[in-house]
């Protein structure tokens, strides 16, 4: 087994800048996006958690289910792991193909991108050593989040680790809905009826929907969020002029370090994320 090394969201941020610089001759527009906006505000804390708990070494086969792809590319490029980066929709694959060519070179085969439905993965049983999914399963309607966890357990090797991050609600379980929109790729509807967008979990729904699998033991449950100032709401507010929102993109990492911090489950917050580590029981 290879040696574990410690990495943080700062390493991913710097890696994002490197990806942008190296990809510029090949794909200048995509490269510029990485140079200006390496990592989104809330993703910094989520990436930090995954890197601290996933325990990745170069020998591992890793499955990324729908996460922002910079983290999976980082694991392939910096840790030498073999990564399957999947998503329900391939909207980011073209850009990340350019990024992967730029930073992996002859090791490009270590990074595979595939369209997959988390509720019905095409992989065989016990295929992967590690699985992570950053802010994904909350977008799957109905019982899809529970089905996705069941599929993760199926394709994970005994002793393997799963890391998940999902929104948390201090006000009880919540579901949000969206009107159909071309800009909302997760919305699939042929009429104008409101459709499911995402859920935010509370204690009971988290344990019932995500932590109840008989083969997965809870290793860690942590919470990150904003105590007083709703920074993410400000960053995403449509009332803020687009030019100002774009000008603030390079500041996301600094704002994350200033305003996102560990919280307790019951501590009130303006924005909170539940971060979960599960381990599959050995046979």
Distance CA 103, CA 100 (A): 5
Terminal-residue alpha carbon distance, the chain: 20
Q: Compute CA 148 distance to the chain's CA centroid, rounded to the nearest angstrom.
A: 14
Residue 31 lies in a domain: yes
Mean pLDDT of the chain: 92
189 pLDDT band (50/70/90 cuts)?
very low
Q: At what angle do helices 41-53 and 69-78 cross, to 10 degrees?
A: 40
pTM, entire model? 0.93
- Helix, strand or coil for residue 26? coil
Q: CATH number for the domain including 20? A: 3.40.50.150
Opening angle at CA 138, ends 55 and 179, nearest 5: 145
Predicted confidence (pLDDT) per residue in 18-35, tens digit: 999 999 999 999 999 999
Residue 254 lies in a domain: yes
Segments forming the whole domain that contains residue 64: 9-280
Predicted pLDDT of residue 193: 61
Distance CA 66, CA 80 (A): 20
Predicted confidence (pLDDT) per residue in 83-120, tens digit: 999 999 898 999 999 999 999 999 999 999 999 999 99
- Helix, strand or coil for residue 262? strand
Find out whether 160 and 61 touch, Cβ atoms under 8 Å.
Answer: no
- Written as six digits, the tokens of 40 are 């989104």
Find out whether 248 and 142 touch, Cβ atoms under 8 Å.
Answer: no
3-state helix, strand, coil in the chain (%, to 5): 40, 25, 35
Distance CA 220, CA 77 (A): 27
Residue 4 lies in a domain: no
- Written as six digits, the tokens of 118 are 């988390």
Residue 3 lies in a domain: no
- Written as six digits, the tokens of 148 are 């996705």
Residue 34 lies in a domain: yes
Domain count, the chain: 1
């Amino acid at each position: 087994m290879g040696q574990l090394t410690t990495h943080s969201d700062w390493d991913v941020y710097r890696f994002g800048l490197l990806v942008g610089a190296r990809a510029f001759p090949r794909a200048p527009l995509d490269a510029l996006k990485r140079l200006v906006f390496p990592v989104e505000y809330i993703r910094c804390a989520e990436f930090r958690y995954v890197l601290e708990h996933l325990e990745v070494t170069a020998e591992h086969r890793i499955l990324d289910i729908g996460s922002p792809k910079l983290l999976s590319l980082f694991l392939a490029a910096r840790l030498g792991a073999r990564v399957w980066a999947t998503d329900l929709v391939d909207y980011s694959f073209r850009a990340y193909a350019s990024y992967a060519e730029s930073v992996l070179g002859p090791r490009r085969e270590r990074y595979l991108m595939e369209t997959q439905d988390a509720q019905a993965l095409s992989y065989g049983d016990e295929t992967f050593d590690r699985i992570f999914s950053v802010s994904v399963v909350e977008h799957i309607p109905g019982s899809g989040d529970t089905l996705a966890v069941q599929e993760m357990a199926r394709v994970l090797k005994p002793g393997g680790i799963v890391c998940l991050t999902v929104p948390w609600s201090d006000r009880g379980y919540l579901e949000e809905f969206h009107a159909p929109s071309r800009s909302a790729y997760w919305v699939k509807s042929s009429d104008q009826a409101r459709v499911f967008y995402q859920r935010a979990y509370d204690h009971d729904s988290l344990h019932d929907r995500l932590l109840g699998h008989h083969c997965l033991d809870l290793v860690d449950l942590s919470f990150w969020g904003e105590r007083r100032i709703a920074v993410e709401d400000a960053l995403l507010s449509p009332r803020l002029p687009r030019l100002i929102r774009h000008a603030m993109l390079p500041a996301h990492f600094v704002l994350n370090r200033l305003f996102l911090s560990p919280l307790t489950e019951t501590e009130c917050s303006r924005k909170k994320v539940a971060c979960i580590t599960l381990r599959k029981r050995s046979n």
